[in-house]
Amino acid sequence: MYTVKVESNFSSAHNLRGYKGKCEDLHGHNWRVELAVAGAKLDKIGMVADFKHLKEALNKVLEGLDHKYLNNLAYFKKVNPTSENIARYIYDSIKCHVSSIKSVTVWESENSCATYYGE
């Protein structure tokens, strides 16, 4: 099995509804996002996936999150914008454009991340 990963980033603000502590207040992050795809076989030129295609797909989704107040986006009006839910949102937004998606990992800081693997 092979795994191929690309990373990108975006900046945004959010606050967590129902949370008791600092994160209930408006604050921002410079998010780092990793997209991973997996496959048992390589294509005819020896790739699981083209890095260029993966980066383009990831960046297209992240453009919609960059420099936004996430709570104001339609999806996050109903879903709390936690790292876990942001990872799922990105995964679900990319899965129709990227075959063999394995996971999306979102870092809200250098030391804290959440990964979504799909259903």
Q: Say if residue 119's pLDDT is above 90.
A: no
What would the pLDDT profile of 55-66 be if each residue is shown by its tens digit? 999 999 999 999
Active site residue: 23, 24, 27, 63, which one? 23
Active site residue: 14, 29, 34, 108, which one? 108
Domain residue spans in the chain? 2-116
Q: State the pLDDT at residue 91.
A: 98
Domain 2-116: give its CATH code: 3.30.479.10
Which residues face 106 on adjacent strands? 33, 114
Q: Is 118 exposed, middle or buried (0-12, 13-18, 19+ CB in 10 A)?
A: exposed
27 is catalytic: no
Could you give the CA distance from residue 64 to residue 11 in angstroms, rounded to a whole number? 11
What would the pLDDT profile of 18-57 be if each residue is shown by its tens digit? 999 998 999 999 999 999 999 999 999 999 999 999 999 9
Active site residue: 24, 27, 63, 67, which one? 67
What would the pLDDT profile of 74-109 be if each residue is shown by its tens digit? 999 999 999 999 999 999 999 999 989 999 999 999
96 is catalytic: no
29 is catalytic: no
The owner of tokens 């992050």 is 29
> Tokens at residue 16, please?
């967590």
- Look at residues 29, 51, 45 and name the one whose alpha carbon lies nearest to residue 110: 29
